[in-house]
A and B are shown apart, each in its own frame.
Chain A
Amino acid sequence: MSKTTKAPTATVTTNPWQTLSAFTDARIALGRAGTSLPTRALLDFQLSHAQAIDAVQAELDASAIRSGLQALSYRQSHPEVYDVKSQAGHRQQYLQRPDLGRKLSEADTFALQQQRTEQGFDLAIVIADGLSACAVNQHAVAFVDALLKEMSFAQCGWSLAPICLAQQGRVALGDDIARALQARMVLMVIGERPGLSSPDSVGLYFTWQPQPGCDDAKRNCISNVRPKGLSIQNAAKRCQYLMQESYNKQLSGVALKDRSDDALLTGTAQSEIFLLTSTTK
Chain B
Amino acid sequence: MTAYRYQQGLTLYRFDNLADVMAKASPLRSGDQLAGIAAITAEQRVVAQRILADLPLSTFLNQTLIPYEDDEITRLIIDTHDKVAFAPISHFTVGDFRNWLLCETTTTDLLQDVALGLTPEMVAAVSKIMRNQDLILVAQKCQVVTAFRNTIGLPGRFSTRLQPNHPTDDLNGIAASIFDGLMYGSGDAVIGINPATDNVAQTIRLLSMLDEVIHQYGIPTQSCVLTHVTNTIEAIGRGAPVDLVFQSIGGTERTNMSFGVNLSLLQEAREAALSLNRGTVGNNVMYFETGQGSALSANAHHGVDQQTCEARAYALARVLDPLLVNSVVGFIGPEYLYDGKQISRAGLEDHFCGKLLGLPMGCDICYTNHAQADQDDMDNLLTLLASAHCQFIMGVPGADDIMLNYQTTSFHDALYIRQLFGYRPAPEFEEWLARMKIFSANRDSLLQDTMPAKFELALRSLEEDR
Contacts and interface: CB of A to CB of B under 8 A. Distances in A.
A272 B209 CA distance: 11
A87 interface: no
A131 interface: yes
A26 B34 contact: no
Contacts of B446: 35
Interface in A1-29: 1-4, 6, 13, 15-17, 19-21, 23-29
A24 B14 CA distance: 57
A248 interface: no
A265 B205 CA distance: 9
A281 B461 contact: yes
Interface in B26-60: 30, 33-34
A26 to B, nearest CB: 4
A35 B447 contact: yes
Contact of B34 (A23, A48, A97): A97
Contacts of B199: 261
B405 A16 contact: no
B463 interface: yes
Given A35-B446, A274-B462, A24 B416 contact: no
B375 to A, nearest CB: 7
A27 B213 CA distance: 21
A279 B399 contact: no
B400 A4 contact: no
Contacts of B321: none
A23 B216 contact: no
A13 B449 contact: yes
B272 interface: no
Nearest to B338: A96
B259 to A, nearest CB: 12
B369 A195 contact: yes
A37 B400 CA distance: 13
A45 interface: yes
A30 B398 contact: yes
A29 B180 contact: yes
Contacts of B333: 193
B353 to A, nearest CB: 25
Interface string B191-218: 0000001010110010011001100100
Contact of A26 (B173, B201, B370, B457): B173
Contact of B177 (A19, A24, A45, A277): A24
Interface string A153-185: 000000000000000000000000000000000
B400 A35 contact: no
Nearest to A46: B375
B30 A26 contact: no
Contact of A27 (B166, B197, B375, B397): B397
A197 interface: yes
A45 B34 contact: no
A26 B398 contact: yes
Interface string A196-213: 111101000000000000
A52 B374 CA distance: 11
A251 interface: no
Nearest to B400: A196
Nearest to B180: A28
Contacts of B165: 26
B459 interface: yes
Contacts of B178: 275
Q: B165, B197, B418, B459 — which one has the most chain A CB atoms within 10 A of its CB?
A: B459
B450 A27 contact: no
A17 B459 contact: yes
B370 A131 contact: yes
Contacts of B167: 25, 224, 229
Interface in A236-268: 261, 264-265, 267-268
Contacts of A25: 167, 402
Given A16-B451, A45-B399, A195-B402, 17 more contacts: A1-B450, A4-B449, A24-B166, A27-B398, A27-B410, A28-B397, A32-B415, A52-B369, A194-B405, A196-B369, A196-B407, A224-B167, A273-B175, A276-B213, A276-B216, A277-B461, A278-B454
Interface of A: 1-4, 6, 13, 15-17, 19-21, 23-30, 32, 34-37, 41, 45-46, 48-49, 52-53, 55-56, 95-99, 131, 192-199, 201, 224, 229, 261, 264-265, 267-270, 272-279, 281
20 contacts: A16-B459, A17-B451, A20-B180, A20-B459, A24-B402, A26-B397, A28-B179, A30-B398, A36-B412, A49-B374, A49-B407, A193-B368, A194-B370, A195-B369, A195-B400, A267-B171, A268-B171, A274-B172, A274-B175, A275-B216
